Chains A and B, each alone.
Chain A
Amino acid sequence: MCLAIPVRVNALLPGHMAQVSLNGVSMAVSVALVEDVAVGDYVLVHVGYALARIDPLEAARTLAAMREAGVIVEREVYHEIY
């Protein structure tokens, strides 16, 4: 139930709503819970509400770390925590 899906924001609508495309399907979702959403952002949508914005730099860095079997993210996260 707690699975949110990454969608691209295509247009901002009145009343803290946004038009997003979900695997080709266009729908309106609430962006009231995420500040300063802009067209082109990817947000995680759950039951019609955006819960978080995906950080494209962190996403790329995580992927790079995975390709090298995990080393980079771990070290960075380790430092971030302490």
Chain B
Amino acid sequence: MKYIDEYRDGAVARTLAARIARQADPRITYRFMEFCGGHTHAISRFGIADLLPGNVRMIHGPGCPVCVLPTGRIDMAIRLARLPQVTLCTYGDLMRVPGSAGQSLLKAKAAGADVRMVYSTLDAIRIAETEPGREVVFFAVGFETTTPPTALAIRQAEARQLANFSIFCNHVLTPPAIRGILESSSDGVEIDGFIGPSHVSAVIGTRPYDPFADEFSKPVVVTGFEPLDVLQAVLMLIRQINEGRHVVENQYVRAVTREGNKAAQAGMADVFTLRDAFAWRGLGSLPHSGLKLKNTYAAFDAERRFDLEDLPGRENPACECGAILRGIKRPAECKLFGTACTPETPLGSCMVSSEGACAAHWTYGRFRDHQRRAS
């Protein structure tokens, strides 16, 4: 595929890796967090860790919206789905995420709840139009990439006077999560620089990362999702550190601008407003990190329409997703990893989404652990 295959060229990857090896100062340890789950997946899938010198370490971040959704919100979605009049539409990633007591949307569906997997908010709108007797609720989840499509769906529902459409809003924001990680780093992981998100940045631009370079003195390189992109970004981060710089750089110039997508930003600003705080799995409650519908769109808010109460949620006590999402632990350090918890029978959210650190390591990285143990 054009704009994908050429950025996966093995020979070029080896050239970049050789340059990284030359530039990396053996006296320095470079600890870079890739915020986004898409990068975690790419790093695992393409074996990028194997191409980097031992003193360049990639730390997986919390940028997997499925992974950071607290169990209580899954429980609330399941409760919604069980209402007899409700058709719950959801992205496929959320079907198998464990709620409390081993529940999931997939199990609720098997027990008779009307849960439907959709590709797009456009599909959910279509279902609401063709089935006026059903209360169609869209389980809205994701960062700034999936938020503009939800905003457009709300505006479309309003324009078409769709009285049977609403959303269960769980949209979250990237910059407050990065801030949360940096501010909690006294008890957590040391980070020397960030690989910034690809497509979140296509929407928000590179400007929102400025505080992490200015206030926290951390280099940030906004990076595409292909392996050559990631390698080039690592090289750019190493150079910044070697030269004592900490600025926001843009490696993904083919799709990301400093200002981002203004139409998408305007759509989000029209429909959503900040929650005072939102609870993240692993990161805890972060101020102004989640979105809710503005009062002008309250009619489309499923939490109000169905008088949905907040549920606390109970996670499997042995699950280390929280520490893994903060970058404190690696997947293999969880005792459930690969034993009770696998992609077929996930106990924690990080094992569900292909972007989750545990699923990525299980699929592409665990063989390396075996080799390490054997040698």
Chain A interface (Cβ < 8 Å from any Cβ of B): 1-6, 8, 23, 30, 32-35, 42, 44, 46-49, 51-56, 58-59, 61-63, 65-67, 69-70, 73-74, 76-78, 80-82
B298 at the interface (CB under 8 A from A): no
Contact B37 A6 (CB under 8 A): no
Interface bits B152-190 vs A (CB < 8 Å: 1, else 0): 100000000000000000000000000000000000000
Contact B203 A51 (CB under 8 A): yes
Contact A1 B91 (CB under 8 A): yes
Q: Which residues of B contact A76 (CB under 8 A)?
A: 253
Contact of B145 among A1, A8, A69 (CB under 8 A): A1
Q: Given A34-B261, A52-B256, answer yes or no on A6-B2 (Cβ-Cβ < 8 Å).
A: yes
- Chain B contact residue count (CB 8 A cutoff): 63
Contact A59 B254 (CB under 8 A): yes
State the Cβ distance, A16 to closest chain B Cβ, in Å.
9
Contact B250 A77 (CB under 8 A): yes
Number of A-B contacts (CB under 8 A): 157
Contact of A52 among B12, B19, B202, B250 (CB under 8 A): B202
B263 at the interface (CB under 8 A from A): yes
Q: Which residues of B contact A54 (CB under 8 A)?
A: 3, 254-255
Q: Which residues of A contact B38 (CB under 8 A)?
A: 2-3
- Residues B111-127 near A (CB distance < 8 A): 119-123
Nearest chain B residue, comparing its CB with the CB of A69: B19
Contact B148 A51 (CB under 8 A): yes
State the Cβ distance, B10 to closest chain A Cβ, in Å.
12
Contact A23 B1 (CB under 8 A): yes
In addition to A47-B120, A48-B119, A48-B149, 10 A-B residue pairs with Cβ atoms within 8 Å of each other are A1-B145, A1-B146, A34-B263, A46-B145, A48-B122, A52-B256, A55-B255, A66-B16, A70-B16, A74-B249
State the Cβ distance, A78 to closest chain B Cβ, in Å.
7
Q: Given A48-B119, A48-B149, A77-B249, answer yes or no on A70-B64 (Cβ-Cβ < 8 Å).
A: no
Between A and B, 23 residue pairs with Cβ closer than 8 Å are A1-B65, A1-B91, A2-B37, A2-B197, A2-B199, A5-B4, A8-B2, A32-B263, A33-B264, A35-B263, A42-B3, A44-B202, A44-B255, A47-B119, A47-B120, A49-B152, A55-B254, A65-B232, A66-B12, A69-B235, A70-B16, A77-B249, A78-B247
